[in-house]
Amino acid sequence: MSLNAESTAFRSALEVIRAVEPRVADAIGAELADQRESLKLIASENYASPATLLAMGNWFSDKYAEGTVGRRFYAGCQNVDTVEALAAEHARELFGAAHAYVQPHSGIDANLVAFWAILADRVESPALKKAQVRQVNDLTEADWFALRRELGNQRMLGMSLDAGGHLTHGFRPNISGKMFDQRSYGTDPATGLIDYDRVAEAAREFKPLILVAGYSAYPRKVNFRIMREIADSVGATFMVDMAHFAGLVAGKVFTGDFDPVPHAHIVTTTTHKSLRGPRGGMVLCGPELADQVDRGCPMVLGGPLPHVMAAKAVALAEARRPDFADYAERIVDNAQALAEGLLRRGTKLVTGGTDNHLVLLDVSGYGLTGRQAEQALLDSGIVTNRNAVPQDPNGAWYTSGIRIGTPALTTRGLGVAEMDATAELIHTVLSQTQSGSNPDGTPSKAKYVLDPALADKISKQANELLTGFPLYPAVDLG
């Protein structure tokens, strides 16, 4: 029997790799097997198409291409120009943006490009104006010192980590926390929802240079029209990091006040997660910031990755197809069904439900920390990640929460019925797991007790649930 194109491509690739380092080939095959057999509920992960994956493994990987389309610092980049221009074109059309920059290697890189572009655009020092230094690449150390002194309020206001914000929005472990004097806005303690009046109050008091919206663990929509009004009221640049929900914007599930592109001065995103592309980043903006954004390399980026830009072009082309809108709607339908199934079983959810692709469980009601719950679920074939909840008593390492999401399982074809079954599996594991103790008898935030037989039973049930929804059904590695 002849093999289809996908199977032939991946089998051939593994044969070539195996001839050089068989352990790498084995690990690649094992990863596919593991992903096929487990319930992937990590909200930031998905499954890229075979076409997207194959677009990354080619001769574009060998090219240096510093610069932008038509303005490279290396010769021989005409084919790189083609794929970068295609990726940018698809991004502009997909999101309705005036300008798209597709070179960032990750979401963090995309945010860095945005931060530096905003800072460069905000140069107001008379000394710098006199010298006509308008591009960030031309600034000397003395220029930067003068810029910071002139700005005075090199400040960022973003969502707090425990409320669902992201590390790259001004927090100390990330470089953004060293670039900016940061302050956070949280959520209402009673509801877990953003209180826009409090955000406005914080903005008036702090007077940030940048107001950031976006999240990694907030299960509701954000009203970007209101956030833009708050930014305008204090003269701040409004930036949105839509890395988590870009697929819902692309699929027109989030429209109007909930679509960030018409409201933000600048938007960053990853290209994987709900967008279902390769791991990478992207920046969208208007013409006023386009020149600064296009200087991302060498401003903060190394050389572009042409093979990944090729994969971005493929994935963005896929996202422009009508079936992607249906996919995006099913992501939200599944997340809401999963949330409802958990609520019926007595699980406490942050905000009491979801409007998007993710659900945030407060597992303290099970007597567990997030770390204990994460590992117990993994033992049972359910892949999640621990996450802080608002005012989390266990901090960001052990946490009190578990974050789950539906983009990956929706890609596999699972629907609302399977989400209820998934809720049952999650509840069974968590309700049967007990907090463990340290050797000295004190309570542990990491150790837990779960009957291995139950974990094995749930793993088999999870695998049975996936049987009717094969992952990469066209790929047979033999």
Supply the residues annotated as catalytic. Answer: 64, 66, 241, 270, 273, 279
Q: How many Cα neighbours within 13 Å face the side chain of 15? A: 8
Beta bridge pairs of residue 403: 360, 385
Does an H or E element contain 302, and which?
none
Secondary structure class of 125 (helix, strand, coil): coil
Beta strand spans in 197-315 (E): 210-214, 237-241, 266-270, 281-285
CA distance 238 to 260: 10
Of 400, 394, 358, nearest in space to 218 by CA: 358
Distances (CA, A) of 244 to 181, 209, 268, 269, 409: 25, 24, 10, 8, 16
CA distance 472 to 449: 35
CA distance 436 to 402: 18
CA distance 198 to 31: 45
CA distance 261 to 239: 10
- Classify residue 363 by its DSSP letter: G
Pairing relationship of beta strands 434-437 and 443-449 according to DSSP bridges: antiparallel
Q: Sign of dihedral through CA atoms 376, 381, 386, 387?
A: negative
Whether 185 and 214 have beta carbons less than 8 Å apart is answered as no
Secondary structure class of 286 (helix, strand, coil): coil
Q: How many CB atoms lie under 10 A from the CB of residue 249?
A: 24
Of 309, 303, 306, 248, nearest in space to 278 by CA: 309
| Residue 242 neighbours by CB under 8 Å, 6+ apart | 214, 249, 260, 267, 268, 269
- Residue count (the chain): 478
C-alpha dihedral (164, 169, 174, 179), degrees to nearest 10: -160
For 344, the token pair is 């019926």
